[in-house]
Amino acid sequence: MEYIPNIIFAIILILGVGYFARNINKLIRNIKLGQAVDASDNKSERWTNVVRIALGQSKMVKRPVSGFLHVVVYVGFVIINIEVLEIIIDGIFGTHRIGLEILPTSVYGFLIGSFEVLAVSVLITVVIFWLRRNVIKVKRFLSSEMKGWPKSDGNIILYFEVVLMCLFLVMNATDTAFQTMDSGNVISQFIAPWFEGFSLDALHNIERVAWWLHITGILVFLNYLYFSKHLHILLAFPNVYYGSVEPKGKVNNLEAVTNEVKLMMDPDADPYAAPAETAEDEVPAKFGASDVMDLSQVQLLNAYTCTECGRCTSACPASLTGKKLSPRKIMMDTRDRLEEVGKNIDANNGVFKDDGKQLLGDYILNEELWACTTCNACVEECPVSINPLSIILDMRRYLVMEQSAAPMELNNMMTNIENNGAPWPYNQMDRLNWAKEE
């Protein structure tokens, strides 16, 4: 009978971690539906970005108020959860505060005391975040794409954090042995008097209930991440590593187009000869992207990493001037479509069955794509190196090169370049008339 709690704990732990691992495998599979990307270059710069941007939160604090609040929650929540190691060991082996047997009392007390201070800091910060979302109603949280589930998700994660921090403090406050030790109970000593009228057995039961709810809540929180925008807690690090290290204004060239241009400029080339490395029955390359499978794996990782903070949209000149474009929505739509494709694969024994939908048209409209000024403001603002512009450009390429569906103004410009060698509708002989003296 004495081992039943340990067995129950082990079962809960295995189920929680197992379900999380299953979802992570599904996430990796979905990301691999995209086109492979070679990120073997500039490794030192990539690791520097991880330390500076993902770990150091350097881009987050560019907006000091929200940045500072986020750092408090980030640091507090991560460090406090170090205690989960102790809880897991205690749960499996039936010990109680195993850290006291391994560490000196003063060291253990310092750690737990730090955790308690951070827990209160997280609680205060979470309340401020909730007020910003629901009372102050910061404008970037009120966009049309933030209705329904995205809005609820933002609040649910805050409630999760409040409950977990409170359980941690109650667990310490009702642990009579810990309170008697009088080391590390920096905050819980002020909560302990709330339970003065309870018997020792009642205090023990409250402590045990808080302990069980705390670890179970952490496992639930872990598995909730897959369905939440807060997946960035895990993905921010690989996303920053695989993020572009090229200058932001640089646009990649399509190899297929480059080869065509080279062919046109080579007077000795045979236009009817296929490249030696191309098989006769090979399907011609698709220009641009119309669905998530056409995007790169990094772009799909971007979509899963997006935390819907709205910094990109709040800095987008197209959005600020009332255009339909929202870079945040581009990322959310890409993630939603990718999830839809993943569920399709799950329902069809690992094979995607054409559902008659695609990212372009069913999720993202042409109007949104052409509203973009390619200014890179969204890329610059993102605190975790997400690049909505790259998706916009790839989908524009598809519209222009596969569907000839560019706006009239752009078609006129390209026609002028083709006929006159310049964007303007002037004969080549008249192009320099503006420079002549009158």
The full set of domain ranges for the chain reads 4-31+63-242, 255-277+284-421
The percentage of the chain sitting over the pLDDT mark of 90, rounded to a whole number, equals 70
pLDDT score recorded for residue 79? 87
Of 232, 208, 218, the C-alpha closest to 83 is 218
Residue 88 has pLDDT above 70, yes or no: yes
pLDDT score recorded for residue 337? 97
CATH code assigned to 255-277+284-421:
1.10.1060
Contacts of 422 (CB under 8 A, 6+ apart): 416, 428, 431
pLDDT score recorded for residue 273? 58
Q: Which residue has the higher pLDDT, 272 or 409?
A: 409
pLDDT score recorded for residue 377? 96
Task: Tell me the pLDDT band of 437, cut-offs 50, 70 and 90.
Answer: low
The model's pLDDT over 338-379, given as tens digits with 9 standing for 90+, comes to: 999 999 999 999 999 999 999 999 999 999 999 999 999 999
pLDDT score recorded for residue 281? 53
Task: Tell me the pLDDT band of 335, cut-offs 50, 70 and 90.
Answer: very high
Residue 155 has pLDDT above 80, yes or no: yes
Q: What is the dihedral of CA 160, 161, 163, 165, to 10 degrees?
A: 160
Contacts of 12 (CB under 8 A, 6+ apart): 215, 216, 219
Average pLDDT of the chain is: 90
Contacts of 176 (CB under 8 A, 6+ apart): 200, 203, 204
Q: What is the dihedral of CA 65, 67, 69, 71, to 10 degrees?
A: -150
Task: Tell me the pLDDT band of 268, cut-offs 50, 70 and 90.
Answer: confident
Residue 310's region, left for phi above 0, alpha for psi from -120 to 50, else beta, is left
pLDDT score recorded for residue 282? 55
Provide Rg for the chain, Cα atoms: 28
Which residue in this structure is represented by tokens 């996303």?
239
322 secondary structure, DSSP code:
T
Residue 428 has pLDDT above 80, yes or no: no
The model's pLDDT over 237-254, given as tens digits with 9 standing for 90+, comes to: 999 999 999 888 888 887
The model's pLDDT over 109-142, given as tens digits with 9 standing for 90+, comes to: 999 999 999 999 999 999 999 999 999 999 899 8
pLDDT score recorded for residue 284? 58
Residue 75 has pLDDT above 90, yes or no: no
Are residues 224 and 149 in contact, defined by beta-carbon separation less than 8 angstroms? no
Q: What is the mean pLDDT of residues 304-308?
A: 94
Q: What is the mean pLDDT of residues 27-47?
A: 94
Are residues 279 and 424 in contact, defined by beta-carbon separation less than 8 angstroms? no
The percentage of the chain sitting over the pLDDT mark of 70, rounded to a whole number, equals 95
Q: What is the mean pLDDT of residues 201-215?
A: 95
Whole-angstrom CA distances from 425 to 407, 430, 432, 433, 434 are: 17, 10, 13, 13, 14
Q: How many CB atoms lie within 10 A of CB 362?
A: 14
SS3 369: helix
- Check the CA dihedral 219-221-222-226 and report its sign: positive
